[in-house]
Structure 1
Amino acid sequence: MTDGSRDDETTIGYTPRGSNIVEKLNEYARDHKFIAELGATVDSYEDGTVRMSVPYNEKFKNPGMGGPVHGGVLLSVLDTVMGFTLMATAGEDGRTSTGPTISLTTNFLTASSEPLEAVGELVRMGQSTAVIDGTLIGRESGERIATAQGVWRVYRERE
């Protein structure tokens, strides 16, 4: 099921099915108030990798640290691109539904005050969990801003 419910009351996340997965993910992003506020858009999906663009927005800066984007915003962008990677991969295989984030480990490498490229890459999809890597790269500097690895719950139909 892809409507957010299961018979056992387990939450299922959005899983786009069929063609035009990038378009469906962007529609989902526009309809999701928080992701829309971030301004994140999906640029591409290919072979288990999602690439997103995220504009710099002054309202997300951390004045206590001199003005770069707040780390919580960077973490949210990583969680979003990695979750979208799972959604796209699950939608493509047609027999997997997405669940919640189980764990997310983040490494902040440097501060950022520029537009970002967010990349999510599927590492492994098992019967009940998926592992995804994420990276934030400064669009102007080319620097890696942060990296992450996360584990998501998945629900796979058995073959």
Structure 2
Amino acid sequence: MTDADEFSAAMDEFGEHGDLEGFVQYFIDEHQEFLSWIGTSVDNVGPGTMTLSVPYDEKLTNTRPHAPDGRRADIHGGIAATLLDTAGGLALRTEIENPFAASIATINLNVNYLRPATGDLTATANVVRAGSSVGVSEIVVESTSPDGETCEVAIGQGAYRIFRDA
């Protein structure tokens, strides 16, 4: 069985049950090695929305094991951008008629960093518009501090090309 056959079989299995959350986690675990390597998990899938998370791990930071002043090292901004981009694109799948057969490609990504991320990351994407060939999502990435406070660390917007029934 080829990877394409395995992917198609998984789409059929999850599609039968309408389990988009299960399919997204399967897609991350089995076909997106980088997302799996950074520990990405699916927290929520709903109409026009998606929440993904990545746990804090020193391998994802700018300075290991600690920043020069002894505080916990910040997660690299590329991890937040990846989570933002992925959540935005996957959220679009919830708004199209056949999410299991579509393909989504990023055509523009805007990320504004607000503060350092020093803990677990959570990205929540909301679809602004899912047109016939282009979709737009707005995404907020939050991080927990070592003392348990949650705050926004990045916000952004992604534009994506939608290939329906790819």
TM-score (norm 1): 0.80
Runs of 5+ unmatched residues, structure 2: 5-10, 68-72
Q: Is 2:80–2:121's contact at 8 Å kept on the other side of the alignment?
A: no
1:1-16 equivalences in 2 (<5 Å): none
- Which residue of structure 2 lines up, in the alignment, with residue 25 of structure 1? 24
> Post-superposition shift, 1:156?
4.5
Separation in 2 of the partners of 1:47 and 1:88? 5
Q: Which secondary structure does the structure 2 equivalent of 1:111 belong to?
A: coil
Partner Cα separation in structure 2 for residue 155 and residue 122 of structure 1: 16
1:126-159 residue CA offsets vs partner (Å, 9 max, x unmatched)? 11100011111124322001011010001348xx
Alignment check: 8 A CA contact 2:47 2:94 kept? no
What is the alpha-carbon root mean square deviation over aligned residues? 2.4
Alignment partner, residue 94 of structure 1: 98
Deviation at 1:60, TM superposition (A): 0.8
Q: State which of 126, 144, 149 in structure 1 corresponds to 2:152.
A: 144
Once the two structures are aligned, what percentage of the paired residues are identical? 27
1: CA distance between counterparts of 2:42 and 2:119?
18
Q: Distance in 1 between matches of 2:109 and 2:15?
A: 25
- Computing the radius of gyration from Cα coordinates, the structure with the larger value is 2
Residue 121 of structure 2, aligned match among 116, 121, 126: 116
Look up the equivalent residue of 1:69 and give its one-letter code.
I
